[in-house]
Structure 1
């Protein structure tokens, strides 16, 4: 490692008086030479002890690489920052190292880093240095464009999955029989749930658990809100589906890569007039729209509140994207 750094410094005439902008131009080349974590750590030490570069300069030259690609977990980076008492400039260097051409990926990484730092009671002045206004603006622009595209396209609703049809089937299902794929789809609509979450949900005392998005997120009960307002009936239908999955009578729709559920939804008799098929992720969106309709929202603000509750978005999330789920074309114009 020392030989690599020594050779590179000599060939490129690096010195501690160079600006961070100049040094950062060498980061990619050094990361390619120092191919694993141990070599990168040793390389930083060589720059500091052998050439009197500051810690900040060392991390500009050899940033934490591929953090968001599961090579170095965000949590461990946050712990190092706290343990080594990073100052504001050093924290900013870490944030820059996380920057990628993909603004959405960058925003996700920086958000996760801030959450981890908050858990470790890091001073706010350090956390704030990881905010990248340019990336945030670019991310917001992308989200706005995608939202406008969804508003223009929407989901074409087939008659088979209209509110009336789904509600009638939910009312008449006999839970003494084995549920089929149709029952699974209707219950998913009823609870506005992802296929992967159907096994984890629990309904009790007007509350729902099992929607927690992140492994470390506290799974507090959230308001029960669905197109089936009878909690006991909704609970009975959910348990019916869960027991069938557990016993193997019904396949698990949450298994990654399964195609049988998609195939079911693409049946000709389910296709709307536009022939655009439904996908499993659309069922959740249909459920949100139905919940808003059945709960008689009086205005847009109330509709978004009901939608967020039906989606079981965290009440602490003040930027809930419920509007992304409420665009359905009842009839193609």
Structure 2
């Protein structure tokens, strides 16, 4: 009887010691890979409490959650010879815990190295514009490059994204100048287009005012009203040339002869009677003839030569 009691006590002690070491609890987001005498069990353990054989079974827990792994910045030269620094982020999860623990030593480190190599490769195959604006295709290419080795390791690639593209300062300044020049070009085009439309409207307004000259005067008066509304003490009133032409045409219309009648020459004033009588007397005619003869004789007489004064001589002469 005493022997039985001793055996029961020993069994209870062994149970208390061995049971905690053989009992394992697997969480919902984990799976257990059991090794029995070094051989892996083909069926992973599901979540919940699991009892292992003491000194026989060894279990490794594998996390089945999505792992967010930042990829360090990688330097490279793009296809259009631009030196850039690119970093990315990788999202993956384990779908086959046995492969992830048996076929690869450390699947997280392996995925990090593959991601760095693929990122450098994608930089060399892409242009700078693709890295800055067309990243969707690059993400698809990176995911395809990573999925090939990850499938054999029991890992599924959920997503790969490029986080940031660091450019040299000289390249940033060049891109800023290019963007500034492009915006200035568009601003000049818009300004020129506005001036063209304004010129069309002004030409239409000029034609309307030319057809009705009174419109120009009304416009001038409206301008005067707008200027006078500012409470100015001095008012400069422009006088348009078209208004002068309007007055010229109005004056010419009043001076035109009536239609159907010949134009009459204005009457010439009659000479005075005393001038006519004096011009017709014989004494006046004889005096005029005598003055004409004397003037002709004076014109025929040779003019006296101007006396020349000899130049003084120098002492040497």
The normalised TM-score by structure 2 is 0.18
Flag the structure with higher helix content.
1
Flag the structure with higher strand content.
2
Higher relative contact order (CA 8 A, sep 6+): 1
Rg (Cα) greater in structure? 2
